[in-house]
Amino acid sequence: MRDLTFPDVAQRIETDLMPLQVEGLRLTFDGKTVLDGLDLTVSDMGCTVIMGPNGSGKSQLLKLIHGLKRPDAGRIAWNGRAATAVTARQALVFQKPVLLRRSVAANIDFVLKARRRDRSLRDSVLEHVGLADKARQPARQLSGGEAQRLMLGRALATEPEVLLLDEPTASLDPASVLAIERIILRARERGVKVFLVTHDMGQARRLADEVVFLHRGRILEHAPADEFFPEPETQPARDYLNGRIVV
């Protein structure tokens, strides 16, 4: 992937959506508590990595703070604004790419049109995610890593102030993982606030400015990365980092 400067995708942004404040957040499914009264304040820019064992509630937390679903109880505020009021100023990328059965370029065009953004941005977005040479190819023919880069391109085409990423590199090869991490880092450097769910310890250490550790629907730790990784305070976090089963 070439390193170029793109006027729109590379533009520095200043968001007024921070801090994120979560109070008493509760989510249940059929009477089962999935998130159990979470309190969380994220004030800093950079990358907040959300970690924790399978089923600890990471994906549900991302969906709630993005305003995609409503909690059973509690409050979410992005600098005082309700999550549902600012969804369009954010982008969420899931683990599994969800692409239109059209060309790579048409997948970007679709988003630009929906957001009434200049179509000319498409080429710079595709360059940015290293897919310019595949613009006319059907999106369904992309490899897993390429498809995920297209998903990131679609997300960036909306010029999000907050990027929410749910295991964006699961099952990708090391080169694809690094390509995606470079895109994430560039967004972060431009002032996009990043929330990243990952089980990849190397990735978490490479990208995290701070870590939120979830366990059984509760936040056990919220700490700067340079404190969390060398010295997690709780046993479940220590076990998780050491690869022991803590579910």
Ligand X SMILES: Nc1ncnc2c1ncn2[C@@H]1O[C@H](COP(=O)(O)OP(=O)(O)OP(=O)(O)O)[C@@H](O)[C@H]1O
Binding to ligand X by residue 52, rule CB under 6 A? yes
Q: Does 56 bind ligand X (CB under 6 A)?
A: yes
User: Which CB, 166 or 210, lies closer to ligand X?
Assistant: 166
Closest approach of Cβ 61 to ligand X, in Å?
A: 7
Of 43 and 171, nearer to ligand X (C-beta) is 171
Query: If binding is defined by CB under 6 A, does position 59 make contact with ligand X?
Result: yes
Instruction: Please select the residue that binds ligand X; options are 20, 22, 49, 60, rule is CB under 6 A.
Output: 60
Q: Quick one: 211 exposed, middle or buried, by C-beta within 10 A (0-12, 13-18, 19+)?
A: buried
Cβ closest to ligand X, residue 5 vs residue 54: 54
Contacting range for ligand X; rule: CB under 6 A; set: 49-57, 103-111, 113-121, 186-194:
49-57
**Max Cα-Cα span within the chain:** 52
DSSP assignment, residue 5?
-
Q: Are 164 and 91 in contact (CB under 8 A)?
A: yes
Tell me the sheet residues that pair with 234: none
Answer for the pair 104, 131: CB distance below 8 angstroms, yes or no.
yes
For ligand X, the binding residues in 21-40 under the rule CB under 6 A are: 29, 34
Whether 180 contacts 146, CB under 8 Å: no
Token pair listed for 154: 């679609």
66 touches ligand X by CB under 6 A: no
Q: How many angstroms separate the CA atoms of 73 and 162, rounded? A: 24
Q: Which is nearer to ligand X, 64 or 126 (CB)?
A: 64
Interacting residue with ligand X among 20, 42, 49, 57 (CB under 6 A): 57
- Work out the number of other CB atoms within 10 angstroms of the CB of residue 233: 12
Which CB, 34 or 68, lies closer to ligand X? Answer: 34
Residue ranges that bind ligand X, judged by CB under 6 A? 29, 34, 52, 54-60
